[in-house]
Amino acid sequence: MATLFRCRLAIAAAAACALVLTSSPTAQAGAVGSTPVRTFEYSVGGMTMKVPTGCLFTHIIRGGGKKITYQNAGVDCAFFAALGSGFCNWRIDFTYGNTNNKVYRTSRGRTHPECKIDPMRNNSPQTLPRYGKACAHLYVTGVRRVSQCHHITK
């Protein structure tokens, strides 16, 4: 039994060593954050639409330093919220600000006239001129409904 344990320990140590030796030398970082979408009502073509509780706005970012290699934001709904008509006339914007919260760049998404329960947008890679924060914002009929941000630091 002790021999089997030592053998498994040796295999685990070898695997860990191999993982360290094959790792990329550049530092990579990533962040995922979700913010609840508060319930709200809005009007589309004279009809009142209601977004119930149960939806989260999630923002994913990957990269290293001031370089963003991947960025995505979208809504996931569960329970009764997933059965609704969703979000109509929506868009997702990405903004970038400095450490004093001054926005210096905005990547505005296109407005989607259709209704969608799970709106989502990817953004192109970015190299930021300074540290600060990267945010994603969901707009419905031109009104910002939820935001989610990540700090970009050294």
Residue 47 has a pLDDT of 83
- pLDDT > 70? residue 60: yes
Residue 97 has a pLDDT of 96
DSSP 3-state of 25: coil
pLDDT digits (tens, 9 = 90+) for 133-147: 999 999 999 999 999
Residue 153 has a pLDDT of 87
Share of the chain above pLDDT 90, in %: 56
- pLDDT > 50? residue 29: yes
Cα dist from 101 to 57, 96, 135, 136, whole Å: 21, 9, 11, 14
- pLDDT > 80? residue 82: no
Burial status of residue 17 (CB atoms within 10 A of its CB: 0-12, 13-18, 19 or more) = exposed
Share of the chain above pLDDT 70, in %: 79
Cα dist from 61 to 24, 105, 121, 153, 154, whole Å: 19, 16, 12, 13, 15
pLDDT digits (tens, 9 = 90+) for 113-138: 998 989 999 999 999 999 999 999 99
The whole-model pTM stands at 0.78
